[in-house]
Structure formats: structure tokens, C-alpha cells
Structure 1
Amino acid sequence: MVFGFKKKFLFPALVFAWSTVTMGQNDTKDKYLMLTLAPLALLDIYDGASLRGGAEFRFNERLAVTFQGGTYLKYLNATKIDPEGYLVRPGIKYYLSKRKYQRYIALEWMHKEQSYDFLDKLIVDEVGVEKQYGMKRKINAVTVKYGKLVNLGSQWVLDWYVGLGIRRIDSQADLSSEEIEYIDSVGNDCTMQENLIRQRGNMIYPDLALGVKIGYELN
């Protein structure tokens, strides 16, 4: 798998597992483990469909540690062609009251590595031409989130959230220097979304988060 997935994914997963074991040695009624799934990621036609599962361990009435990992799938026709890669997202949650289903604030760090193809639509002498080439991206983001847990019954939970942060993108294209110079010198009819996908170099952008997760409690 691309970018040495196994080695880079294993370390944060082991850290989360160790934290879960050590924090759960003294059981109380406030401790619980919740498994999560991000369903909207399976329908992402912009970044590419991905399977994102995770866990949350609350070790007292206020604090919890979270972890999410994901890998990209190819069944969906997305703007990024044949995306591959992975992401990891560890975090800390602070619940704003002692009730089990309540509002929270969270701090999360995300690391994502992804490769994909992009079909560039260029305009040369008023004639449209196409060029498909590969791209690789590394993304790191730190995000503060505000959300709420909603009890769906039978140990099922809905976790909705919004968030704001900052992300750094390191993007490279599988193009020669001559091809890059040519692409940059001619016009294109790409959408704003496509222009963001085809950008190269190091970039810093705001990180906006809006989503839901479905959880199942194992307490």
C-alpha cells in the first residue's frame, strides 16, 4: 500500500490501544468504549470514498481519548481518479457536563497521505486538450471541534460536530519540469474544486470540519 501504510498506521494505533488499557484498569460506571464509523466518508465524490472507523474511550465523566483510521476505496466515481492512501486522526475530547449524552469540545490532529490521478483540461490555441497525471499529497491538520452525542437507543449513538483549524498540504505532481512549465503557461477551464486538487507545492489553508459519526457503545 502507498506511503508505507502499515508502519505509519501501526504506531498511533498501538498508542491508542495502550492508553485504553492503562486508563481502563480501574473500572467505574463512567468508563466506556465506543466504536465509531463515519458514514458520509463512503459517499465523498470530492476527496474519494473512504472507509473510516475508530474508537472513543471515556475514562471519567469529562475526558475521553479518540482515534480514527481510514483507507481509500475505488468504487465511487470521484474528482480524484483512483485515490489510494490512508489517514489517522487521534484526539482528545472534553465533555461540558457530567451527563453521558452531552456537548463537547475536542482537539484533533490528522495526518493523511494520498495518491491519485487528475485529468487536467487545458486550453491551447482555443482548443481543449486533456492530460492525465498522478499526484501525491501529505496533509497535516489541527482542528478544534464542537459537537454533541445523541442517544439513538440500544447502545447506538449519533455524534455530530463542526470544527475549525489549520491544515498544511505538501503536494507533488508526476510531471517533468517541461510539462509543469507548459501546464502553468496555458489556460484551463477547471472548476475551483479541480484547481484545488491540481495545486502543487506547500500550502496552508483553514481546515473546516462538519460531519457525523455513528457509534456503538461496548460498556
Structure 2
Amino acid sequence: MRIIRSISLALIFLLLFSSSSKADSIPNKMHLSLQLSPLALIDFYNGSSYRIGSQLVITENIAISADFGGYFKNFNYLKNNKGFYSFVAFKYRLPNSPQSWISLSYSYKQQSFNYHDSFEQDPNTPVVVHVQKYVNCLNLNYETNAILFRKSYINFFAGVGIRFRNVQSLQTKHEFDELKDGGDSQTLYFVLIPGKNTWLNLNAGIRLGFYLF
């Protein structure tokens, strides 16, 4: 909780400061920036992860960005969590809006972890569910930047797309309903149920960017 409060206070400060900055304060001819994803550290759904990326402005209206990262071993109900995450987006700057973009993104995640619980019919016998996930996502996003200082910014993004999910975990979906602690959790349902599925994907978050040159 202390980490969450610290990150939240830092983001509030950055947002307040950015409101007094002008969009045209970006230095001219800055093409490459480093990007960090602070909210990935407190992702209760997928587990705490570290991500670092970059953005390259190719032409005045075209850019490409990419993120890569991995997972911290234990967070919330995810134990022995490991894997990697990758993301790439092709971006088009909107006319007459220097800080707004439309992007087409692709992300890939490979993740494995252990979930500890028991079944309702035998609550005194511990059960360890090993989960292996492969997830591919395609999204259409709207992005906008808020300038912090002369060479840094916050990137806000949100979008909608499609998620291709392949999960190996329980033997059947019915077993999820029999879990003593997790069986009533809607969040755990999306995390643990096995099978190959195609779902609607909603995408939103922020990145901190730092111009290099």
C-alpha cells in the first residue's frame, strides 16, 4: 500500500504540473524518447511487472513505439510469477493537434504462475493451480501527451481491440466454480479459466516519456 500511495502522489503532482505547461514547449527536432510504465508495477490483474520502452518519430506525422518487460516473482495471489511482455505500436499524429495520435498496436504476453486455493468439497486439502498463459492483442488507440518539463511528458492512451487468449490451468472450466476462495471472483475467472478464446480487449494506461534527442 505504501508503494501505491507513493506512485499515486507522484502522478498527481506530475498531472498538476503538466496543466501549467504548454504543448509547444517540446524541444524542436526531438525524435527519440525513453518511456516507462509506472502503473504496471501495481497491476492487480496480471501481476506486478517492469516495462521499459522507446518511441521514435520517423516523420512529422509518423512514429513507432515499443515496450518490453517481465514480471516480479510474487504479487497478490500470483506466486512464482514469470514471463515476458512485448508491445509495438505504429502511430499517426492527428492534424492540427501536435500532442494527439491514433495508433495501431500489437502486444504479446507469455506468463506462468501458481495459484493456491482448495476445493469446496475438501477445503482442508491445499490445491496449487499452475497457470500458463499466451495472449496476443490487437488494438486501435487514441493517445495524447501532456508536457511535464521541457524534455519529458506523460502519455495517456486508451483503445479497443481483440484479444486472443490461450490458457492452460484447470482441467475444466467447471473446476473453477468449485474453488473455495476464488470460485466467486469475476477477476480470477478471467485469469484462471482454461482454453482458447477470442475476447474483446480494452486497453488504457499511462507512460512517462523522456526525450533523448
TM-score norm. by structure 2 comes to 0.78
Residue of 163, 166, 188 corresponding to 2:162: 166
SS of 1:60 mapped into structure 2: coil
Please list the CA deviations of residues 50-93 of structure 1 after superposition, one character each: whole Å capped at 9, or x if unmatched: 1111000001111001111011112x532322210001111101
Match of 1:154 in 2: 150
For the Cα contact (< 8 Å) 2:173–2:193, is it kept in 1?
Answer: no
Match of 1:12 in 2: none
**Aligned partner of 2:168: which letter?**
Q
| Cα pair distance change 1:113/1:147, threshold 3 Å | same
Instruction: Please tell me whether residue 198 in structure 1 is matched to residue 192 in structure 2.
Output: yes
Please list the CA deviations of residues 73-115 of structure 1 after superposition, one character each: whole Å capped at 9, or x if unmatched: 12x5323222100011111011103654x11110000111001
- Give the alignment of 1:1-219 within 5 angstroms: 30=29, 32-74=31-73, 77-97=75-95, 100=98, 102-124=99-121, 127=123, 129-173=125-169, 180=171, 184=175, 187-189=178-180, 190=182, 191-219=185-213
For the Cα contact (< 8 Å) 1:123–1:186, is it kept in 2?
Answer: no
SS of 2:120 mapped into structure 1: strand
Q: Distance in 1 between matches of 2:145 and 2:30?
A: 16
**Aligned partner of 1:143: which letter?**
N
**Which sections of structure 2, spanning at least 5 residues, go unmatched?**
1-27
Deviation at 1:129, TM superposition (A): 4.9
| Cα pair distance change 1:162/1:142, threshold 3 Å | same
Deviation at 1:206, TM superposition (A): 1.1
Percent same amino acid at aligned positions?
24
RMSD: 2.3
Deviation at 1:198, TM superposition (A): 1.4
For the Cα contact (< 8 Å) 1:31–1:60, is it kept in 2?
Answer: no
Deviation at 1:128, TM superposition (A): 6.4
**Aligned partner of 1:61: which letter?**
E
Please list the CA deviations of residues 151-200 of structure 1 after superposition, one character each: whole Å capped at 9, or x if unmatched: 11130111001110111111112x6xxxx369739733421111222111
**Which sections of structure 1, spanning at least 5 residues, go unmatched?**
1-28
Q: Distance in 2 between matches of 1:44 and 1:215?
A: 20
| Cα pair distance change 1:98/1:37, threshold 3 Å | same
Please list the CA deviations of residues 129-155 of structure 1 after superposition, one character each: whole Å capped at 9, or x if unmatched: 541121111100101110101111130
Deviation at 1:122, TM superposition (A): 2.0
**Aligned partner of 1:197: which letter?**
V
Deviation at 1:205, TM superposition (A): 1.1
**Poorly superposed stretches of 4+, deviation over 6 Å:** none
